[in-house]
A and B are shown apart, each in its own frame.
Chain A
């Protein structure tokens, strides 16, 4: 009898506990949930709906089926935007990560003044996304800009890098590589997690530095490399500010810096073709989701998880 009583009591206590938590959770999560529904989920679905309509803010959206998508796939500027963005992502992200990892490796070797160097290299990551730095870039790579002044000092005649269709995108790639500090800090923290004893054991077994690097550092660092890769890829696909400022909002010269987001902005908020812009937005989502999924599948073959 006492046992049954005890069981009943604990069960009651357990349900009370759970109920109590549930109510508290609802309260604590309320702001987030409202935001998730109103500011994120609803707009996400609305933009899917809008992508099948013709909408310009002035009239009610009219259903046009897949017309926006077919228009998109026969729009040369859309393909140009894809080309620009992919080129930027494929070139700048690996360069940035190599720079970040390289510097992290150099700094990790028990060097004095680590904090100082880390700050210096990290600073550009904080400022890089600002309009002020984009303005600076426009001058530095301009016809009479800093780069050409330095080149002139060595007797080389430069050109207007930002105003030349072959080089304009390159200046933005340089800008992205310049902000390697953030992934570098993550790499540095990752290197610290590699247990020292692995190196000691390897050294006793006669492994040289190169082999230690290849067989200890790299495998243990692959999760961090993967993390940085996913993060930087997603970020690079969304580049907007620098391209907007450096090209004066046009994506020029001759669409050579017409980033995907810039074209989306132009369509949605320049000419108010919001149906078309929504179709572009969903296509961007598919690209990013697809790329991230591929990344995660591929990671099974090269990312090494210790645990």
Chain B
């Protein structure tokens, strides 16, 4: 089922074209070679005459602005009195109101910080879980020879495409029989068991790009697989680990479906569920506070985007093609 893109994806060839930057600085270091994601090669063709190029930039900027406008407007509106939100399409508040944030913070049963903390716990557990369990599984698929490897690899790939909705009912029954409902365990334990197989695939791709000679040399020196994995593969795979951590962070932070199902006690609510309760209880009068808390909920993702962009962009690009 998943055959074609995967075969395409498997990098039987070298890890990646060495980046032009590394080449310029002389011999690239080992980690640079192993970590090298393809950097854009030199520009393909000169882009038309100057005026046309300028026009293009203007169009791209305008289009980007239009795309981001709703976001910017929400940010601006979070500083407006609620009545203005329904009247003022502009970005600069004619009247500033900072009380949205204090009001929104205290609008629900617990202060909003409580939900942020709950989300942070779930996210942290998920990130750690995925990093450990997926990298272990990926090492086995990328480097170890064992019977049925191709079969299990195919099973793993198919599990990536399995919709959560298909298995959520029995999962709920299972977790409720363990009395795990309204704890964070149903959200974290599966990650410790590498159920986010997408990241196994991502790391297998990356591990395959690390020269085999390295672990063979280590093996001759008497290293076992545990040490090869910890001392060679993981340190060389920091970019892949970063990509995994960042994506897990964002997906878990945004995740609504499973948190909605497993967390029903207000005390245990995470940010998305708290926001849902907020919006359900909101009449037209409290959109300001609602917007304020929505902005608060987006800040962590935005920060990750800001500082982890490189890994995000390269992460989706490599899984797509390499």
Which residues of chain A have a CB within 8 Å of any CB of chain B?
17-18, 21-22, 24-26, 28-29, 31-32, 34-36, 38-40, 42-44, 46-47, 50, 57, 106-114, 117-124, 126-127, 129-133, 135-140, 144-146, 149-150, 153, 178, 182, 185-186, 188-190, 192-193, 196, 199, 223-224, 226-228, 230, 234, 237-238, 240-241, 244-245, 248-249, 261, 264-265, 268-269, 274, 277-278, 281-282, 284-285, 288-289, 292-293, 296, 299, 303, 305, 307
Contact = CB atoms under 8 A, between A and B. Distances in A.
B121 to A, nearest CB: 18
A282 B155 CA distance: 18
B167 A43 contact: yes
Contact of A149 (B4, B88, B156, B224): B88
A304 to B, nearest CB: 11
Given A44-B162, A110-B45, A150-B89, A223 B5 contact: yes
Interface of B: 1, 3-5, 8, 38, 40-41, 43-47, 53, 56-57, 60, 64, 67-68, 70-71, 73-74, 85-89, 132-134, 136-137, 139-140, 144-147, 149, 152, 155-156, 159, 161-174, 176, 189-190, 192-195, 197, 200, 224-226, 229, 250-251, 253-254, 256-257, 260-261, 271-272, 275-276, 279-280, 284, 287, 290-291, 294-295, 297-298, 301-302, 305, 309, 312-313, 316-318, 320-321
17 contacts: A18-B145, A21-B225, A24-B144, A31-B133, A32-B193, A39-B190, A40-B159, A47-B167, A112-B57, A124-B68, A131-B297, A132-B298, A189-B317, A192-B41, A238-B163, A264-B165, A299-B4
Given A25-B146, A110-B46, A129 B254 contact: yes
Chain B binding surface, main DSSP class: helix
Contacts of A109: 44-45, 47
A261 B64 contact: no
A230 B6 CA distance: 12
B128 to A, nearest CB: 12
B225 A24 contact: yes
A133 B284 CA distance: 18
A30 to B, nearest CB: 8
A50 B251 CA distance: 29
A47 B170 contact: yes
Contacts of B170: 42-44, 46-47, 50, 278
Nearest to A209: B45
Contact of A135 (B44, B165, B275): B275
A222 B188 CA distance: 38
B200 A114 contact: no
What 10 A-B pairs come out closest when comparing CB atoms? Answer: A35-B193, A189-B317, A110-B43, A43-B170, A46-B170, A132-B294, A186-B320, A43-B167, A25-B146, A28-B140
Contacts of B3: 296
A100 to B, nearest CB: 12
Nearest to A286: B166
Given A118-B313, A119-B309, A136-B294, A153 B5 contact: no
Contact of A234 (B133, B161, B176, B192): B161
A227 to B, nearest CB: 5
A79 to B, nearest CB: 18
Given A135-B290, A285-B163, A305-B4, 12 more contacts: A22-B147, A31-B136, A36-B195, A39-B195, A123-B68, A131-B294, A136-B294, A199-B45, A245-B256, A274-B169, A284-B163, A284-B165
B41 A57 contact: no
B280 A285 contact: no
A227 B166 contact: no
Nearest to B315: A185
B127 to A, nearest CB: 15
Contacts of A277: 169
B47 A110 contact: yes
A136 B71 contact: yes
B190 A29 contact: no
B167 A224 contact: no
Nearest to B8: A223
A303 B4 contact: yes
Nearest to A237: B163
Nearest to A24: B225
Nearest to B320: A186
B276 A245 contact: yes
Given A129-B254, A288-B161, A24 B280 contact: no
B4 A44 contact: no
Contacts of A118: 313
A145 B88 CA distance: 9
